[in-house]
Amino acid sequence: MNSLEEPSIKPLDILLVEDDDGDAKALRRAFKRANIPDRIVRAVDGIEALEMLKGENGKTKLTSPRILLADLNMPRMNGIEFVKALRADEELRRSIVFVLTTSKRDEDRIAAYDLNVAGYINKATSSDFIDLADLMYLYSEIVELP
97-127 pLDDT, tens digit each = 999 988 888 999 999 999 999 999 888 765 5
Question: Quick one: pLDDT at residue 65?
Answer: 66
Question: What pLDDT, on a 0 to 100 scale, did the predictor assign at position 15?
Answer: 94
How deeply is 50 buried, as exposed, middle or buried, from its count of CB atoms within 10 A (0-12, 13-18, 19+)? buried
Reported pTM: 0.87
pLDDT at 146: 65
| Cα separation values, 9 from 6, 36, 54, 78, 118, Å | 9, 7, 28, 33, 23
Q: Say if residue 4 is exposed, middle or buried (CB neighbours under 10 Å; 0-12, 13-18, 19+).
A: exposed
pLDDT value of position 4: 46
Q: Domain 43-120: what homologous superfamily?
A: Response regulator (3.40.50.2300)
Ranges under pLDDT 50 in the chain: 1-6
pLDDT confidence of residue 132:
86
CB 71 within 8 A of CB 17: yes
Structure confidence at residue 1 (pLDDT): 37
User: Which pLDDT score, from 0 to 100, does residue 47 have?
Assistant: 96
What pLDDT does 68 receive? 94
Note the pLDDT of residue 88. 96
Amino acid 3: pLDDT: 42
